[in-house]
Chain A
C-alpha cells in the first residue's frame, strides 16, 4: 500500500513538473516563464537596478569604459577601433539583443522558425527577392576587397556573442520567453543582412502596374497622368544647377518590344506611403551664430523596440555620436567633432523586372539573344516551428532571381519574371558609415560615400569649417528614357542595363548660393541633369514647405530648426481645400452638421496640430474624393497604380471639367464638382459613425499614432494614442504608424551642440523604465541633449561600466 501511494504521488509530482516545462500548442512552457527567479518577473528590473561595474570581454586589447548618461545612452571609450566595435556589439546586444536577432531573422526569411507556418509566405517572399543572396555577395565582396571592414564586423560579432554566452535565464529578453526560443550566434553576415533589409524597406517599384496602365491607357495618357517631372519641381539639388561633366551617351533602342499584355500577378509589397525622411543643412551665412546647422529626421515605421539605438563612440582619434541601427556598426545618422551628416531615402527605380523565356519545363536554360543561357538553382530550406521544413526552389538568371513563377504568385504557367536590383550587387555600405564616423571634411565625406550602393540616399553634410553639401549616392543604372519603367523582355539583350552613372556624376552640390541644402524624398534634379530619372514615389509637399521656409529664414538658430522639424503645416490641404470648398458650393446648406464641419474647415489655419478638428475632416474628405475620382481604376481587374495626390490636385485646380473626371458607364458627364459633392456626403456619413463610436475627432484622436511592438500581437508592449500632430506629406510626418523615427539637430561650432530624440527608449526590455521614456519628449517636439561627452565628465552620469 505504501509503495502504491508513494509511486502515485511521485507520478503526480513528476507529471506536474514535466507539464509545466513543455510547450502546449502555442502556449510556451509555463515554469520558465513565471518562475520568479528566471521568468518574466526578472525582466522587471531596469538597467540602473542591475548595475555591473565590471564585465568580462576577454578579447579586448585594452579595457573599455562605458559611461551611461541619465537617458541610458552609452558613451563608449576605447583605445582603438577594433575594441570600439567589439564593445558596441556587446553593449547593443545587452539592450537590444532580441530585436537585432528578430530583424535579421526576418531579413533572412526565417520567421517561420519562430512563429510557425503563419510566416511561411512572408519568408518565401523575402528569400525569393534574394536578400540573403545579396548579403552573401556582400560577404564575398568584403573578403576580396576590404579585410579591414570584415575584421571590424568580426569584432562586433564577437562582442555580441560574448554577451549571449553570458546571458542568464533571468535576463534573457522576455520575447524569447514568450515565443520560446533562444538567441543564436551572431555573425558578420547578419550585419550585412540587416543593411540589405533596410534596402528592402525603402525601395519599391511599379513596373508591373505601369505595364498594365500603358496597355490600358496608352502611352500618351500615361504621360499626362504620370509625368516624370512636375511642372514646377523643387528638387533635392537646387534647380538650375549647371552640370559640368560630359555625360556618357546612351541611346534608346529603335524598336522596343515590351511584354505587351496586362498582367495579373500579386505585386511585391511596396514601401508604405509615409516612409520617407527630411534632412537639410544651412550655411553659416544664414545662421545667427555663424555656424552651419544640420538637421535630419528619417520617417519609418514607428516600432518598439525602436529601430534606432543612440550611442557615442570614442577612440583617441575621434568621437562620434548619434543614432545607430542595432546590428550594424558605427553611427548611421550623427556627427563628430568636425562634421555632421544625415540621410533620407533617394529611391530611383532601383528594381527592374525581366520576363524570362525558359527553354523547357525543367527551367535549366533561358533565352538571351540568339543563345540559351544556363540557369542556376538555389534551394531555400525554410524551417517551420512544429512542422517539416519547406523547400523552395528559386531559379537564378544573370539578371537575378526569378521571383514570380509557377510556384509563387503566378496563376499562369508562363509567368516568369526575374528581378534585377542593386541589392544583388556585391557592395560595402558598412564602409560608408565607418568612414563617415571619423570623417573630418567634405573630401572625407565624398570618399566615404563612394562605397555606397543601395538603398540610394540623399546624404546631407555640414562641417565645422563652414561647408554644407548634399549628394545623392547609390549605384544608379544609366538608363535610356523609360528603361525599366515597364516590365522588360529578358531575352532581348538591348533591354539590359548597360552601365552605371559614375559616382562623380551623381547629383551633388557644395555650398550652393541659396545658403542651404535640403532633401525630402522629392525628385533629385530638374530637367537639366543629363540622365534619365524616374520613380513613382517622389514627394511633392514636404520638400516645397521645407525649401520655402528655409528660403525665408535668416539668423537661424537651433530652436528654429527644431521647430521646422516639428512643423505641422498641411501644405496639401492649403493648396486644394479652398477649391474643394468652392466646388462644393451651397450643396449642403440645409444640413446643420455639414455647416458645423464646413465652418471648422473654413476657419482652419492649415496646421495639423493634435487638438485641431479640421485636419480630420479634410483628411477623410480628401481620401474619399481621391477614391471617388479614381474608383474606375479598380475595375481594370489587374494591379495598377493610381495617379498621385499631387497630379490629381493639379487636375482639380486647373481642369475641373476634364474628361478624366467622367465616370464612363453613367448617363451624365461627371466633373470634379460631382466628385467633391459626393465625397463630402461620404465624409458626413463616416464622421457621423466615427463620432458616435469614438466621440472627439481631434486630429490626434483620429489618426491614433501608434508605436507598435515588432510583434504586433503583443499589444501590451505597444503604445497607442500618442498625442502628437503632423501627418503624411507634412514636415512633421507623424501619421498613424509612420513618422519621424529619429530627430537630430546639430550646430557645428567650436564644439558641436547637438540634440536628438526618437520615439522609444534605449532599452529593448518592455519591463524597463527606459523602454519608452522618450515617447512623451518626442511627442511634444522636445529633444534630449546629445552633446559629446568626455570620459571624465561627472555630471548626469547614470552609471559606469568597465569592460575588460
Chain B
C-alpha cells in the first residue's frame, strides 16, 4: 500500500511541482514524502524511482506525441546517442535514479528516529 502511495505521490510531484521548480526540489519533496509515509528501505527506492522515472518518461512520450517535433532525434544526433527514443529512455532512467535515491534517503532518515521496540525479548 505504501509502495503504491509513494509511487503515485512521486508522479504527482513531478507533474505538479516540477514545471515550476528545478529537479532537485522534486528530489527533496520525494524524500520528504517517503519519510512521512514511512516506506521501507529498498521498496521505497523502487517506489520513488518508478514514480519519478515513469513520470519523466511519460512526459517525454506525451510531448513527443503532442508535438510530433523532430527535436529528440536531432538532439540524440548532436549528443551522439542514437535516437530520440533512446533519449526518452535515458531521461526515464535518470528520473528513476533520482527519485529512487531520494525516496531511499527519506526512508532511511525516518529510520533514524524510529525507536527500537522495547518489549522484545532479546535474550
B partners with A: yes
| Chain A residues engaging chain B, CB cutoff 8 angstroms | 2-3, 5-6, 9-10, 12-13, 16-17, 20-21, 30-32, 34-38, 40-46, 49, 169-170, 174, 178, 713-717, 766-769
Residue pair A16, B74 in contact (C-beta under 8 Å): no
In the bound complex, CA of A715 to CA of B77 (Å): 8
Residue pair B59, A44 in contact (C-beta under 8 Å): no
Residue pair A44, B101 in contact (C-beta under 8 Å): no
State how many angstroms separate the Cβ of B57 from the closest Cβ of chain A: 8
B77 contacts across to A, CB distance below 8 A: 715-716
A17 contacts across to B, CB distance below 8 A: 23-24, 27, 98
Q: Does B1 contact A (CB under 8 A)?
A: no
State how many angstroms separate the Cβ of B64 from the closest Cβ of chain A: 7
Residue among B59, B64, B87, B105 with the highest chain A CB neighbour number at 10 A: B105
Q: Who on chain A is nearest to B24 by CB?
A: A17
Query: A34-B90, A45-B63, A174-B75 known; 15 other A-B pairs, CB under 8 Å?
Result: A6-B112, A10-B109, A13-B31, A13-B98, A16-B101, A17-B27, A31-B22, A35-B23, A36-B60, A37-B59, A38-B22, A41-B72, A46-B67, A174-B71, A769-B69
A45 contacts across to B, CB distance below 8 A: 63, 67, 69
Q: Which of B23, B24, B75 contacts A40 (CB 8 A)?
A: B75
State how many angstroms separate the Cβ of A315 from the closest Cβ of chain B: 36
Residue pair B101, A13 in contact (C-beta under 8 Å): yes
Cross-chain pairs A/B with CB under 8 angstroms, 26 sampled: A5-B108, A6-B105, A6-B109, A10-B108, A12-B101, A13-B98, A13-B102, A16-B97, A20-B94, A31-B94, A35-B22, A35-B56, A36-B60, A36-B63, A37-B18, A38-B23, A41-B63, A44-B64, A45-B63, A169-B22, A174-B75, A178-B78, A713-B78, A716-B73, A716-B78, A767-B67
Residue pair B111, A2 in contact (C-beta under 8 Å): yes
A38 contacts across to B, CB distance below 8 A: 22-23
Q: Do most interface residues of chain A lie in helix, strand or loop, or is the interface mixed? A: helix
In the bound complex, CA of A609 to CA of B99 (Å): 58
In the bound complex, CA of A30 to CA of B98 (Å): 13
State how many angstroms separate the Cβ of B96 from the closest Cβ of chain A: 11
Given contacts A16-B97, A32-B22, A716-B78, contact A2 B60 (CB under 8 A): no
Residue pair A6, B111 in contact (C-beta under 8 Å): yes
Q: Does B19 contact A (CB under 8 A)?
A: yes
State how many angstroms separate the Cβ of A770 from the closest Cβ of chain B: 11
* Interface residues as binary, B57-85 with A (CB distance below 8 Å gives 1, 0 otherwise): 00110011011111111110110000000
In the bound complex, CA of A768 to CA of B19 (Å): 20
Q: Does B91 contact A (CB under 8 A)?
A: yes
Q: Who on chain A is nearest to B91 by CB?
A: A34
* Interface residues as binary, B24-41 with A (CB distance below 8 Å gives 1, 0 otherwise): 100100010000000000
In the bound complex, CA of A730 to CA of B102 (Å): 64
State how many angstroms separate the Cβ of A382 from the closest Cβ of chain B: 27
In the bound complex, CA of A767 to CA of B91 (Å): 18
Residue among A3, A9, A717 with the highest chain B CB neighbour number at 10 A: A9
Q: Who on chain A is nearest to B59 by CB?
A: A36
A717 contacts across to B, CB distance below 8 A: 74, 78
Residue among A3, A31, A35 with the highest chain B CB neighbour number at 10 A: A35
Q: Do most interface residues of chain B lie in helix, strand or loop, or is the interface mixed? A: helix
A714 contacts across to B, CB distance below 8 A: 78
Residue among B31, B63, B72, B111 with the highest chain A CB neighbour number at 10 A: B63
In the bound complex, CA of A40 to CA of B14 (Å): 17
Residue among A36, A44, A45, A46 with the highest chain B CB neighbour number at 10 A: A36
In the bound complex, CA of A43 to CA of B75 (Å): 11
Residue pair B63, A44 in contact (C-beta under 8 Å): yes
A21 contacts across to B, CB distance below 8 A: 24
State how many angstroms separate the Cβ of A26 from the closest Cβ of chain B: 11
Q: Which of A20, A36, A37, A40 contacts B71 (CB 8 A)?
A: A40
Q: Who on chain B is nearest to A49 by CB?
A: B67
Q: Which of B27, B64, B69, B74 contacts A46 (CB 8 A)?
A: B69
State how many angstroms separate the Cβ of B24 from the closest Cβ of chain A: 5
Residue pair A43, B24 in contact (C-beta under 8 Å): no
Residue pair A44, B67 in contact (C-beta under 8 Å): yes
A174 contacts across to B, CB distance below 8 A: 71, 75
In the bound complex, CA of A81 to CA of B53 (Å): 51
B64 contacts across to A, CB distance below 8 A: 44
A178 contacts across to B, CB distance below 8 A: 78
Residue pair A2, B112 in contact (C-beta under 8 Å): yes
Given contacts A6-B108, A13-B27, A716-B78, contact A34 B94 (CB under 8 A): yes
Q: Which of B24, B60, B71 contacts A767 (CB 8 A)?
A: B71
In the bound complex, CA of A13 to CA of B18 (Å): 18
Residue among B19, B23, B94, B97 with the highest chain A CB neighbour number at 10 A: B23
Q: Which of B68, B87, B101 contacts A9 (CB 8 A)?
A: B101
B27 contacts across to A, CB distance below 8 A: 13, 17
In the bound complex, CA of A768 to CA of B74 (Å): 12
Residue pair B104, A13 in contact (C-beta under 8 Å): yes
Residue pair A9, B71 in contact (C-beta under 8 Å): no
In the bound complex, CA of A641 to CA of B87 (Å): 50
In the bound complex, CA of A174 to CA of B19 (Å): 17
Residue pair A13, B105 in contact (C-beta under 8 Å): yes
Q: Who on chain B is nearest to A5 by CB?
A: B108
6 tightest CB-CB pairs across the interface, nearest first?
A767-B71, A44-B69, A716-B74, A36-B59, A13-B101, A6-B108
Residue pair A43, B104 in contact (C-beta under 8 Å): no
Residue pair A36, B56 in contact (C-beta under 8 Å): yes
A16 contacts across to B, CB distance below 8 A: 97-98, 101
State how many angstroms separate the Cβ of B10 from the closest Cβ of chain A: 14
Given contacts A2-B108, A44-B63, contact A766 B90 (CB under 8 A): no
State how many angstroms separate the Cβ of A333 from the closest Cβ of chain B: 30
State how many angstroms separate the Cβ of B75 from the closest Cβ of chain A: 5
State how many angstroms separate the Cβ of A59 from the closest Cβ of chain B: 27
Residue pair B91, A36 in contact (C-beta under 8 Å): yes
A169 contacts across to B, CB distance below 8 A: 22
Q: Who on chain B is nearest to A717 by CB?
A: B74
Residue pair A9, B78 in contact (C-beta under 8 Å): no
B91 contacts across to A, CB distance below 8 A: 34-36, 41
A9 contacts across to B, CB distance below 8 A: 101, 104-105, 108
Q: Who on chain A is nearest to B58 by CB?
A: A36
In the bound complex, CA of A6 to CA of B101 (Å): 11
B18 contacts across to A, CB distance below 8 A: 35-37
Q: Which of A6, A31, A44 contacts B23 (CB 8 A)?
A: A31
